[in-house]
């Protein structure tokens, strides 16, 4: 899975994941500006991930199951579904 993440300081994509904080937040190290930061959002889903979640939802899982598996909130999934059906 390709993550489209960017450094919060310089917006470079040249970042590497650097473990998690004790609070479970993902940390990264930016190779361009050299900073160590936590990712701003812990609830980040790229398109690929959304597709995967929606596919899982259609195949068998309930929204409750989705939440358990992916930790994504129900309103988010419903929003994606709505967006998809309009496209």
Least gap, CB of 42 to Zn ion (angstroms): 19
Contacts to Zn ion from residues 22-41, by CB under 5 A? 30, 32-33
Q: How far is the CB of 30 from Zn ion (least distance, A)?
A: 3
Count of beta carbons in the 10 Å neighbourhood of residue 15: 21
H helical segments located in the chain: 47-59, 63-70, 74-86
Strands 26-30 and 15-20 come out as antiparallel
10 binds Zn ion (CB under 5 A): yes
- Binding stretches for Zn ion (CB under 5 A): 7, 9-10, 12, 30, 32-33
């Amino acid at each position: 899975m390709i993550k489209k993440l960017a450094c919060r300081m310089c917006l470079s994509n040249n970042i590497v994941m650097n473990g998690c904080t004790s609070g479970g937040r993902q940390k990264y190290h930016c190779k361009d500006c050299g900073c160590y930061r936590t990712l701003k959002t812990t609830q980040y889903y790229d398109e690929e991930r959304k597709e995967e979640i929606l596919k899982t939802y259609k195949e068998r899982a309930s929204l409750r199951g989705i939440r358990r598996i992916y930790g994504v909130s129900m309103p988010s999934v419903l929003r994606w579904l709505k967006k998809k059906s309009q496209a």
